[in-house]
């Protein structure tokens, strides 16, 4: 119920944007190849539905596997970095550097290494999405109340137990912030990866339509990509509600 | 266990000397109150007894021998309640039992048996954010008691409570101390509280803290409210206050 009520404002806002867009195309008479009307995009969505669906499944698969890889890499790096000052100093700067490497440059290398299959896509997605998750998880782990940790020490809790009982639960709100950013980046990562080396998927489809100057069809693909992104984000939000009821109860009470 | 501080001193890395040359002794089963001005090192002293801080000078003896590690020997109640917002009241209170190896279910059962005495019934499954300040403090006390240690280190446990709840819990702590005969070190600002509950009282000086006065309280505990009105009690309180600088 709350979800439905929550959907109201963004849907209303989207309607407003679509109306403004329709007005703009009607008033300016801009050609379809530059900016199609909402109606033309809707028509393209319907006409292309079979192609869109086929390629959407490919991209969704890449996103899910890549996102899972990003989570595995991001969380384990965060935990290792948190556990060891030495690792933090040795590795953390390089994580930052890894984000400076232009994906456009590195993605073709992944393709050379592994070929045109799922692997380079998973690598690209993991590379763009692990970082915000790792950073916010590390910050969250650091945020645990030091006095609580001292109390747990007097109760006989070792490092691992303190992590399990206090640091990890305290970090979870930050972990979820990272998961949300990573979800959005996973979608972008998948499109990027397909541009570089793929014969299928929504990113590939965008390129193809772009070459054909089929702008309305291109917009249709973007709409589908947006829907996938929102769905993934929504799943993370839902998981957050389930895992962190205490956090949301506290915020709501404010 | 007998706990003894000999010439205890603590200078922090920043250069602040919190304690200097403090001598203090706690006999088994004894209830000792430590009173002192704010910032004189009372919390620092308890942290050292809890094994969380190593003194920079002097030593702590346990049963006459220098203590190697005090960690895990005492149940420590920090000045802030330190309740975990993601755990229910019951699970917060049971954390000590859990860490001592009890199963989650056993730990909860034992905690549940005590919530009545601590005025927490009906709130077992709530989260700390839903509790009043007094209830939070009582939950923290229950957590400390359930840790199952002979030595309790309580850092101003009642300071945050309203006057009525405080009186109530003071009587309750008196009864529990009487029944269990656990050794208790209570840090407090409240001279009346110290004199009402303790066997012996140490008054500390301004920072750096050292012992300014040691008083044995008469009559022996447990004491009832009638003692509060006696002239001896008033005289004791006056001596404590004068030592603290209130003439
Ligand atoms: N970890 C620390 N690092 C540096 N200085 C500290 C540290 N802990 C305490 N101090 C300093 O040591 C002094 C004593 O602190 P402590 O908390 O023991 O006082 P207290 O007697 O408990 O005060 P209060 O009654 O206000 O709780 C203070 O001046 C404080 O600033
Ligand atoms: Mg203190």
Average pLDDT per consecutive 10 residues, chain A (254 residues; last block may be shorter) = 73 92 90 89 92 94 96 96 92 88 84 84 93 96 94 94 96 96 94 86 92 91 94 95 85 64
Q: How far, in Å, CA of A127 to CA of A131, rounded?
A: 7
**Res. B183: pLDDT tops 90:** yes
Structural domain count of chain A: 1
- Going by their DSSP bridges, the two strands B3-11 and B17-26 should be labelled as antiparallel
CA A172 from chain center: how many Å? Answer: 17
| Cα atoms found within 13 Å of the Cα of residue A240, Cβ hemisphere only | 19
* pLDDT at site B68: 82
Atom of ligand 1 nearest to the CA of B204: 21
B99 contacts A169? CB cut-off 8 A? no
Supply B98's token pair. Answer: 């859990």
Contacts of residue A125, defined as CB under 8 A and 6 or more positions apart, other chains included, come to A62, A63, A65, A66, A67, A69, A70, A185, A186, A189, A190, A193
Q: Is the ipTM of this complex over 0.85?
A: yes
CA-nearest of B55, B69, B53, B50 to B19 is B55
- A40 φ/ψ angles, rounded to the nearest 5 degrees: -65, -40
Structural contact between residues B194 and B33, judged by C-beta atoms closer than 8 angstroms: yes
* A192 located within any domain: yes
Residue in B67, B61, B59, B55 with CA at minimum distance from that of residue B17: B55
| B41 Cβ closer than 6 Å to some ligand 1 atom | yes
Establish if A221 belongs to a structural domain.
Answer: yes
What is the model's pLDDT at position A254? 58
In a domain, A144, yes or no: yes
End-to-end CA distance of chain A: 22
A148, A153, A154: which to substitute to probe chain B, counting the most B Cβ within 10 Å? A154
Residue A107 has a pLDDT of 83
Cis peptide bond N-terminal to B198, omega within 30: no
Residue A228 lies in a domain: yes
Average pLDDT score over chain B:
91
Work out the minimum CA distance from B67 to partner chain A, whole angstroms: 15
Q: Do A250 and B52 touch (CB under 8 A)?
A: no
Q: Is residue A211 less than 8 Å (CB to CB) from chain B?
A: no
A251 has a chain B CB within 8 A of its CB: no
Chain B nearest C-alpha distance from A234 (Å) = 23
Using CA positions, which residue lies closest to atom 22 of ligand 1? B43
> CA A150, CA A140: separation in Å to the nearest integer?
18
Shortest-distance atom of ligand 1 to CA B53: 1
Pairs across A and B, CB distance < 8 A: 61
Q: Please provide residue B59's backbone torsions phi and psi, each rounded to the nearest 5 degrees.
A: -150, 160
Question: In Å, how far is B219's CA from the nearest CA of chain A?
Answer: 34
Compute the C-alpha angle B86/A254/A230, nearest 5°.
75
At residue B86, does pLDDT exceed 90?
yes
Q: Hey, of A146, A148, A150, A151, which one would you mutate to test binding to chain B, going by the most B CBs within 10 A of its CB?
A: A151
Q: What are B's interface residues with A at a Cβ cutoff of 8 A? A: 47, 50-52, 71-72, 74-76, 78, 80, 82, 84-87, 95-96, 99-100, 127, 129, 147
Neighbours of B14 (CB within 10 A): 5
A143 touches chain B (CB under 8 A): no
Question: Is the separation of the CB atoms in B3 and B62 below 8 Å?
Answer: yes
Does residue A17 fall inside a structural domain?
A: no
Closest residue in chain B to residue A244, using alpha carbons only? B86
- Is the pLDDT higher at B161 or at A217? A217
* A168 contact B CB<8A: no
Chain A residue with minimum CA distance to B127 = A246
Query: Is residue A105 one of the residues assigned to a domain?
Result: yes
Question: pLDDT per residue over B93-151, tens digit each?
Answer: 999 999 998 899 999 999 999 898 888 999 999 999 999 888 898 899 999 999 988 89
Give the model's pLDDT for residue A253.
60
CATH code assigned at A103:
1.10.3720.10
Whether B42 is in the pocket of ligand 1, judged by its Cβ within 6 Å, is yes
H-helix or E-strand spanning residue A82: helix A49-83
Closest residue to B82, CB basis, from A145, A169, A246: A145
Distance CA B191, CA B164 (A): 17
Distance from the alpha carbon of residue B12 to the mean position of ligand 1, in angstroms: 9
**A150/B47 Cβ within 8 A:** yes
Q: Is residue A23 assigned to a domain?
A: no
Nearest ligand to the C-alpha atom of residue B18: 1
Chain A positions in Cβ-Cβ contact with residue B80 (cut-off 8 Å): 147
A11 inside domain: no
> Which chain A residues in 15-44 lie under 8 Å from chain B, judged by CB atoms?
none
Q: What is the pLDDT of residues B204-243, one digit of tens each?
A: 999 899 999 999 998 888 888 888 889 999 999 999 999 9
Report the distance separating Cα A28 and Cα B22, nearest Å. 86
CB contact under 8 A, A154 and B74: yes
**By residue range, what is the domain housing residue A43?**
37-253
CA-nearest of A111, A132, A123 to A66 is: A123
State whether residue A61 sits within 8 Å of chain B by CB: no
């Amino acid at each position: 119920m709350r979800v439905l009520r929550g959907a109201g404002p963004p849907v209303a806002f989207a309607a407003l944007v679509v109306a403004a867009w329709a007005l703009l195309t009607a008033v300016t008479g801009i050609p379809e190849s530059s900016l199609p009307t909402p109606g033309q995009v809707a028509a393209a969505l319907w006409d292309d539905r079979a192609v869109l669906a086929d390629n959407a499944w490919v991209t969704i698969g890449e996103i899910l596997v890549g996102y899972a890889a990003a989570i595995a890499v991001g969380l384990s790096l965060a935990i290792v970095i948190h556990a060891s000052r030495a690792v933090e100093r040795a590795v953390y700067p390089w994580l930052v550097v890894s984000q400076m490497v232009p994906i456009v440059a590195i993605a073709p290398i992944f393709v050379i290494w592994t070929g045109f299959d799922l692997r380079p896509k998973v690598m690209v997605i993991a590379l763009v999405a692990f970082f915000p998750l790792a950073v916010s998880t590390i910050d969250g782990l650091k945020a645990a109340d030091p006095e609580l940790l001292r109390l747990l020490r007097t109760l006989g809790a070792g490092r691992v137990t303190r992590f399990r009982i206090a640091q990890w639960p305290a970090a979870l709100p930050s972990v979820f912030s990272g998961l949300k950013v990573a979800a959005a980046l996973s979608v972008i990562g998948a499109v990027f990866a397909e541009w570089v080396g793929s014969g299928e998927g929504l990113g590939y489809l965008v390129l193809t339509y772009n070459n054909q100057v089929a702008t309305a069809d291109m917009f249709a693909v973007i709409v589908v990509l947006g829907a996938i992104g929102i769905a993934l984000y929504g799943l993370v939000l839902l998981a957050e509600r389930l895992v962190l009821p205490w956090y949301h109860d506290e915020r709501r009470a404010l | 266990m007998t706990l003894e501080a000999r010439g205890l001193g603590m200078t922090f890395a920043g250069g602040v000397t919190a304690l200097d040359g403090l001598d203090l002794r706690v006999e088994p089963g004894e209830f000792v109150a430590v009173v002192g001005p704010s910032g004189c090192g009372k919390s620092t002293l308890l942290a050292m007894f809890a094994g969380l801080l190593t003194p920079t000078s002097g030593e702590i003896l346990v049963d006459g021998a220098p203590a190697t590690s005090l960690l895990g020997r005492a149940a420590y109640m920090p000045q802030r309640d330190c309740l975990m917002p993601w755990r229910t009241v019951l699970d917060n209170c049971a954390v000590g039992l859990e860490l001592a190896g009890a199963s989650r279910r056993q730990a909860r059962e034992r905690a549940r048996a005590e919530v009545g005495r601590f005025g927490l019934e009906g709130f077992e499954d709530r989260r700390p954010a839903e509790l009043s300040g007094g209830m939070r403090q009582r939950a923290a006390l229950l957590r400390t008691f359930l840790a199952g240690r002979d030595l309790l280190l309580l850092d101003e446990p009642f300071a945050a409570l309203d006057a009525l709840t405080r009186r109530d819990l003071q009587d309750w702590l008196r009864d529990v101390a009487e029944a269990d005969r656990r050794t208790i070190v209570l840090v407090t600002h409240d001279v009346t509280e110290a004199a009402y509950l303790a066997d012996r009282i140490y008054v500390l000086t301004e920072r750096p803290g050292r012992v300014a006065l040691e008083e044995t309280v008469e009559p022996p505990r447990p004491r009832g409210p009638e003692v509060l009105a006696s002239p001896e009690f008033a005289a004791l309180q006056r001596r404590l206050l004068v030592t603290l600088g209130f003439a």
